Amino acid sequence: MMAESAAGSKRIVQERIVQERIAQGEIIHGGDLDAARAAFPGAPEPWVDLSTGINPWPYPLPPIPADAWARLPGRAAETALREAAAACYGVPSADRVAAAGGSQALIQILPRLRRPGTVAVLGPTYAEHAAGWAKTGHRVAEVESLEGCDADVVVVVNPNNPDGRIVLPETLLALAERQAARGGWLVVDEAFAEVTPECSVASEAGRAGLVILRSFGKFFGLAGVRLGFLLGEPTLVRDVRAAVGPWAVSGPALAVATAALSDSAWIAATRRRLADAAARFDARLVEAGVRVAGGTSLFRLIDDPQSAGLYNELGRTGVLVRRFDYRQGWLRLGLPADTLAEDRVTTACGTFKNR
């Protein structure tokens, strides 16, 4: 009885923390160069923006047919996109794939497809998950472990943003089975799974209780396309497609993404390129005196007690990185696009650490 009471009290505290974060206002994300320029007006231009974790070597844009700009997107083009996504992610069939204008749109849609209940988000992680569920009337708690999770919906970002934590597929599938038995969901956000395909459960899309999100723009380096996918049971896919409405993906986005998702040679080469670049960047960061605590090959996480000063030093040199209000020692860095950018980052780190 005492253990149950302690667990209940801990959940109440967790829920209160989530609500307090939401009440503080808009969630801060990376990519806000206007704010960075205002904060560091003397910084050299152009800025090196490493705050988003997006591939700095984007997929080369294919020719886009003129009518993709002039006509409403056709059903055949959307079907081709869903088929390309299913093939790329290893999903058994396209009827288990829904497309929308970014995985962020899907994060906001999903909570509206269930009656208000309890939600456990494995954290710390991407803050929009907890916010999306809480804003639609669900009781949300951020949890540190999946052990003993009994919420109606469990959310796991895998690999995690920002620390790169990975939950093994067999663990996720066992949890999905338990969630399905109680009429619940396991939502797995695989926004960064392109670089760790071995951790993906996309091939199991269609299992009861399992909902998977994929992001197109991060790995393919085309965040401006605004495209994401939900993978799941055909009935849920139909509900999501109805919720996003007609023409959810623009004609140019359909053309670009269908080509990119079908380009297996580019995908394989890019995975190798990102892994090599991340390893090289790690070595240079360590040489500069900072500790790399985790991440994926799309972003690296620094854990340093002097992170506030390091953030300011980088800002003064025109480098924008991501900091976190919930973990003061953390800074997340995307990969620099070239040697000059890498030099600017590591020189600033070394200057600060050796001061």
pLDDT, one tens digit per residue, over 229-270 is: 999 999 999 999 999 999 999 999 999 999 999 999 999 999
Q: Write down the pLDDT at residue 156.
A: 98
| Residue 18 pLDDT grade (very low, low, confident, very high; cuts 50, 70, 90) | low
Phi-psi map region of 289: left, alpha, beta (phi>0 left; psi -120 to 50 alpha): left
The span from the CA of 26 to the CA of 171, in Å, is: 33
Q: Yes or no: say if 227 and 98 are a contact pair by the CB < 8 Å rule.
A: no
Q: Which residue has the higher pLDDT, 345 or 325?
A: 345
State mean pLDDT over 126-134: 97
Q: Is 4's pLDDT higher than 60?
A: no
pLDDT band, very low/low/confident/very high, at 355 (cuts 50, 70, 90): confident
The CB density around residue 107, as the number of other CB atoms within 10 Å, is 23
Pair of tokens at residue 157? 């970002």
Q: What φ, ψ does residue 5 adopt, rounded to 5°?
A: -65, -40
Q: What is the pLDDT of residues 296-313, one digit of tens each?
A: 999 999 999 999 999 999
- With b meaning 16 or more CB within 10 Å and e meaning fewer, what string describes 209-247? bbbbbbbbbbbbbbbebbbbbbbbbeebbebbbebbeee
pLDDT above 70 for 13 = no
**What does the alpha-carbon distance between residue 47 and residue 148 come to, in Å, rounded to a whole number?**
45
- Coil, helix or strand at residue 308: helix
> How many helices (H) and strands (E) in the chain?
13, 13
| DSSP code of residue 57 | S
* Mean per-residue pLDDT of the chain: 94
Structure confidence by residue, pLDDT tens digits, 20-43: 555 555 688 899 999 999 999 999
DSSP label at 90?
T
Indicate the DSSP class of residue 153: E
Cβ neighbours of residue 135 closer than 8 Å, sequence gap 6 or more: 22, 111
| d(C-alpha 105, C-alpha 110), whole Å | 9
Q: What percent of the chain has pLDDT over 90?
A: 91
d(CA 231, CA 243): 15
Q: Which residues have CB under 8 Å from 20's CB, separation 6+?
A: none
What digits encode the pLDDT tens for the residues 310-321?
999 999 999 999
| Phi, psi (degrees; rounded to nearest 5) at 320 | -105, 125
Residue 218: is its pLDDT beyond 90? yes
Buried/exposed code over 282-301 (b: 16+ C-beta within 10 A; e: otherwise): eebbeebbbebbbbbbbbbb
Q: Are strands 118-122 and 97-100 parallel, antiparallel or unpaired?
A: unpaired
Amino acid, single-letter form, for residue 119: V
pTM of the model: 0.93
- Taking residues 206-215, what's their average pLDDT? 98
Give dist(CA 170, CA 334) in Å, integer.
Answer: 29
Q: Is the peptide bond before 162 cis (omega within 30 degrees of 0)?
A: yes
Question: Which residue, among 188, 222, 237, 223, has the nearest Cα to 86 in the 3D structure?
Answer: 237
> Which pLDDT value is given to residue 27?
81
Q: What is the pLDDT of residue 28?
A: 82
pLDDT, tens digit (0-9, with 9 covering 90-100), for 66-89: 999 999 999 999 999 999 999 999
Average pLDDT for 7-13: 52
What's the CA gap between 97 and 174, in Å, rounded? 22
Tokens 């085309």 sit on residue: 222
Which of 238, 176, 235 minimizes the C-alpha distance to 202?
A: 176
**10's tokens:** 């801990």
Closest CA to 213 of 85, 57, 341: 85
Per-residue pLDDT at 2 = 47
